[in-house]
Amino acid sequence: MKEKILITGITGFVGSHMADYMLEKGMEVHGLKRWNLSRLRNVRHIMDKVTWHDCDLTDPVAIREIIKKVKPDRIFHFAAESFVSPSWQNPSHYMDVNYKGTVNLFEAVKEAGINPKILMPGSGEEYGEIYESEVPINENTQIRPVNPYAVTKIAQDFISYVYFRSYGMRPIRVRTFNHEGPRRDNVFGLSSYAYQIAKIEAGKQPPVIKVGHTEDRRNFTHIRDIVEAYWTATEKCEVGELYLIGSEKAEHIHTFKEALNKFIALSTYKGKISVEIEPKFVRPTNVPRLIGDISKFRSKTGWEQKIPFEKILEDTLNYWRDFVKNDRY
């Protein structure tokens, strides 16, 4: 009998790749979408392979009914407001979706009388103000969040721990560092650069790339490596424990400026491409460094990042070239 997998946020960047991975494994995949709000471009190729449920996680009645109906064996909880910049203007909304939506999910599972493993993907952004002496970050590094989004992800993580300690529920808690690749929205750094280059190559934008702050340093991992890590986490990690996921390899650690320069070098545009700071892309606070120590996760699971950094850039750029060529926006 096939294992039943429920993916919240299945129409998003990570959720759609997780669905691909689960379908390749032969799982019975159930996905939540908001009937009038979810964008389906990331999942059009699997619409007939997934069992769909209309649900907004901020509605406790809706998620309660779906959990009772599906009774999933594992839940991958990707539904979230994940773009940092709007969180300053919408802090209550971010808390409603990221924190309260998670409470609604756990309450629904508890009420249904089932106890699936629930992957809880946190973010390196939770660490916030990290000093050079604290790099690489580990599970015990102090968190100093500097944006509302990060606070909501901390709340999401900690409430899952409360349900573990209070009710014996089974969250798999991870904090994941920057992951990139096809389908990531073009409001995020690397995808924004790739989208603009694709438009320049197609003659649909002047040869000027608009950016925000580019000196922040990150470790980057391909989305396909990350979804494999998430599955492995639900197979091998201890419930209630916290694990960091990402790439420790030096060739995967770059500033956004370095990544942008590599994108420009990959471009087929023959003229000069310039870079300009766009004030609206500059955040009130920035996070200069997020480099993780994943030794605990690697030791527990044996997982290793496999896809090279250059492949992240190539896949992202080719994805946006295809979109621009076919006028999908």
Query: What pLDDT is recorded for position 93?
Result: 98
Transcribe 38-74 into DSSP letters. Answer: ---TTTGGGTTTSEEEE--TT-HHHHHHHHHHH--SE
Query: What pLDDT is recorded for position 71?
Result: 98
Kindly report the average pLDDT of the chain as a whole number.
96
Which whole number is the average pLDDT over 273-290? 94
**Strand residues in 49-156 grouped as ranges (E):** 51-54, 74-77, 117-123
- Split at pLDDT 50, 70, 90, the class of 151 is very high
Cα–Cα nearest to 80, from 143, 160, 22, 141: 160
Which whole number is the average pLDDT over 154-165? 98
- pTM higher than 0.95 for the full model? yes
Query: What pLDDT is recorded for position 38?
Result: 81
Whether pLDDT at 61 is above 70: yes
> Please, is 243 exposed, middle or buried when counting C-beta atoms within 10 Å of its C-beta (0-12, 13-18, 19+)?
buried
Which whole number is the average pLDDT over 293-303? 98
Q: Which phi and psi (to 5°) does residue 118 adopt?
A: -125, 110
- Split at pLDDT 50, 70, 90, the class of 328 is low
The domains of the chain, with CATH numbers, are 4-179+221-245 (3.40.50.720), 184-218+250-290+307-325 (3.90.25.10)
Whether pLDDT at 250 is above 60: yes
Whether pLDDT at 37 is above 80: no
Query: What pLDDT is recorded for position 110?
Result: 98
Which whole number is the average pLDDT over 56-81? 97
Which whole number is the average pLDDT over 1-25? 97
pLDDT digits (tens, 9 = 90+) for 195-221: 999 999 999 999 999 999 999 999 999
Which whole number is the average pLDDT over 306-317? 98
Query: What pLDDT is recorded for position 329?
Result: 55
- Split at pLDDT 50, 70, 90, the class of 327 is confident
> Helix 189-201 crosses helix 256-266 at what angle (to 10 degrees)?
20
pLDDT digits (tens, 9 = 90+) for 231-241: 999 999 999 99
